[in-house]
Amino acid sequence: MRKLSYVIVAAMLFSTGSILATTTELREPTTSISAQIYEMLSDNSFSEGECNSTAQVRFTLNSEAQIVVLSVETESQDLERFVKSRLNYKKIEISNVEEGKLYTVPVRITF
């Protein structure tokens, strides 16, 4: 009977020790790639005539978590130049970079 109580006390100590030894990291959630792209493109100076321009942006990420724009499909050359200048080789915050993965993001400029 006495050995049983020692075993129970030892089990409680081990379980308490392992619970206290577990660390929890408080991480801020990373924003999505599209939300970060939205922030990069939000400050623009397009006129009212170009306010409904749309584009399909194809890009990949390199090993340093930088956007590498592959193509911008749009009818507006101004929008194409704007998107490339704002996004190409800009670093984004992402936890696990999948180098070489192809992404496509629709972009619409509204007034």
Mean per-residue pLDDT, 1-19:
69
* pLDDT tens digits, one per residue of 11-50: 776 766 655 555 555 444 446 888 898 888 888 777 666 6
The strands making up 102-108's β-sheet, listed across from edge to edge, are 67-73, 54-61, 102-108
Mean per-residue pLDDT, 58-67:
92
**Percentages helix, strand, coil for the chain, rounded to the nearest 5?**
40, 20, 40
What's the pTM value of the predicted model, to 2 decimals? 0.65
Q: Domains of the chain, with CATH numbers?
A: 33-108 (3.30.1150)
Q: What end-to-end distance do the CA atoms of the chain give, in Å? A: 80
pLDDT score at 87: 93
Of residues 37 and 1, more confidence is placed in: 37
Residue 109's pLDDT band, with cuts at 50, 70 and 90, is confident
